[in-house]
């Protein structure tokens, strides 16, 4: 397929030598580089520095200085909210260029990446609207009377924000927006393969008037991330990525008694109740179960269908997936693009090969280049690897259940707890099932993230939350000032 694709759009940046420190682009002292490869063609089109220990130290030194002595500590929540609105406007103005770079980086279809800027801007504007939570007086009386406490929300300090490769803009901005509103300074580290699209966010921050040292950027792999996490000037870490890496970050932060927010892997379930409207389910199936070529953490890649309608559900899912176009991610019609990297392609191929006993009703085979055929497996049993482990590719499994109790037990029989969906024509029945699912978020007849509600995982899916007041609170540290009352 890669041999037949048309010429690719030209991105703004290709091979760069700098990181962003103290308000300006600064040449990195790195001796190694990271290549950026278009997953659809296999062509290397860009590269970034694999930043050195000196770069990391410089980034956190200026972030710490800006936090303690620059103009940033004197700003009010209202002033910071106004700045977030300006950043949002600047990101909106860069939407087209950002989408092209993002699609070249990870192969996400352009129909998806074109919305990244608007989504990021929406996050910034929504978070700006939470400023009053930081500034409002919170006075609490002593239970015995005679005294009261003023509860302050202070910024936690310089934060290290590490985003993954699947949604590199939005999963960084969902950390950046509350960190800035809270009054923190930040060092951003994107995933190695998606290190250029984040430059548009940094550029937007500069254009909006963010003071020098408040937002800094370094690029690099796991070693760079480890240096950032363990640096003595880091006050907090926020990370989205795999559960194994999240465990290592949690251990490092635990050693240093450092707060950490982790949004990790998932293996979510879609419970199809007997009364479900399958046409309605089909209309949201791809986004709910296979968004971004299956490279999304919360996806309900396990569909649990009742025995009485199992064949009907298998037929519906198979037809829906088989009809969705796969191909050039720059084609507006494309639903399924390539895997983001050779490493991810190899992982998905291994899972396809392990699916002994399951029946592929569509797909089931590797395609050319880094493309994987969108795959539906039927006759899947709970003990199979494909039913238990996060695949992170265009693969969905359909399991059968005999009654609702078994469906709930199957949904909860996982080490993860990130998302989930219940399909039913009866909202009350769906809500009752959702209450019993052991997971951080559940959708009824659809799934989406709400900027106003907390999003986070349980168990192996992470610690802490993003979005909402609860997500903003992750970047605050609380102080109680006790005083006598008259």
Active site positions, annotated: 263, 297
460 neighbors 416 (Cβ within 8 angstroms): yes
Report the candidate in 447, 474, 39, 124 with the shortest Cα–Cα distance to residue 266.
447
| Radius of gyration of the CA atoms of the chain, in A | 23
What is the residue whose two structure tokens read 């791809």?
286
Cα 182–Cα 136–Cα 152 angle in degrees, nearest 5:
60
Please state, as a whole number, how many other Cβ atoms lie within 10 Å of the Cβ of residue 426: 15
The three-state DSSP-derived secondary structure of 75-112 is CCHHHHHHHHHHHHHHHHCCHHHHHHHHHHHHCCCHHH
What b-and-e string marks burial along 315-346, b requiring 16 or more CB atoms within 10 Å of the CB? ebbbebbeeeebbbbbbeebbbbbbbbeebbe
CA dihedral angle for residue 83, residue 84, residue 88, residue 90, rounded to 10 degrees = 30
Cα 62–Cα 67–Cα 69 angle in degrees, nearest 5:
85
Sign of CA dihedral 89, 95, 98, 102: positive
300 neighbors 419 (Cβ within 8 angstroms): yes
């Amino acid at each position: 397929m890669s041999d037949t694709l048309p010429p690719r759009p030209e991105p703004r940046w290709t091979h760069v030598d700098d990181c962003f420190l103290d308000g300006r682009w600064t040449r990195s002292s790195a001796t190694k580089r990271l290549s950026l490869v278009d997953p659809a063609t296999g062509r290397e089109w860009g590269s970034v520095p694999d930043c050195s220990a000196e770069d990391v130290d410089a980034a956190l030194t200026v972030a710490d200085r800006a936090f303690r002595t620059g103009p940033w500590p004197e700003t009010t929540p209202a002033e910071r909210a106004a700045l977030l609105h300006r950043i949002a406007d600047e990101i909106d103005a860069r939407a087209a260029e950002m989408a092209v770079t993002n699609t070249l980086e990870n192969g996400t279809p352009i129909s998806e990446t074109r919305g990244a800027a608007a989504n990021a801007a929406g996050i910034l504007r929504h978070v700006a609207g939470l400023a009053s939570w930081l500034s409002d007086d919170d006075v609490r009386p002593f239970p015995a009377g005679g005294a009261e406490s003023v509860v302050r929300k202070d910024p936690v300090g310089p934060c290290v924000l590490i985003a993954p490769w699947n949604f590199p803009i939005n999963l960084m901005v969902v950390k950046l927006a509350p960190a800035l509103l809270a009054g923190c300074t930040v060092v951003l580290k994107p995933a190695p393969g998606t290190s250029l699209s984040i430059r548009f966010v940094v550029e937007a921050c500069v254009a909006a008037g963010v003071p020098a040292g408040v937002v800094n950027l370094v690029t690099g792999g796991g070693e760079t991330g480890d240096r950032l996490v363990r640096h003595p000037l880091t006050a907090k870490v926020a990370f989205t990525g795999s559960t194994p890496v999240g465990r290592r970050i949690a251990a490092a932060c635990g050693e240093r008694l450092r707060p950490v927010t982790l949004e990790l892997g998932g293996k979510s379930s879609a419970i199809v109740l007997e009364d479900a409207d399958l046409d309605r389910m089909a209309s949201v199936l791809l986004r709910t179960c296979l968004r971004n070529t299956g490279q999304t953490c919360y996806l309900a890649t396990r569909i649990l269908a009742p025995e009485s309608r199992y064949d009907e559900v298998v037929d519906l899912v198979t037809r829906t997936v088989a009809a969705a176009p796969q191909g050039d991610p720059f084609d507006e019609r494309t639903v399924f693009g390539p895997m983001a990297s050779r490493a991810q392609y190899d992982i998905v191929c291994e899972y396809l090969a392990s699916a002994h006993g399951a029946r592929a009703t569509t797909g089931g085979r590797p395609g050319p280049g880094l493309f994987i055929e969108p795959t539906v497996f039927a006759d899947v049993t709970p003990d199979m690897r494909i039913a238990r482990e996060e695949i992170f590719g265009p693969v969905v499994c359909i399991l059968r259940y005999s009654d609702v109790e078994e469906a709930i037990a199957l949904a909860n029989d996982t080490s993860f707890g990130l998302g989930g969906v219940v399909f039913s024509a009866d909202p009350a029945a769906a809500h009752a099932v959702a209450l019993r699912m052991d997971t951080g978020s559940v959708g009824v007849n659809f799934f989406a993230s709400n900027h106003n509600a907390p999003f986070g995982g349980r168990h192996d899916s992470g610690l802490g939350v993003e979005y909402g007041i609860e997500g903003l609170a992750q970047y605050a540290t609380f102080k109680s000032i006790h005083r006598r009352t008259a």
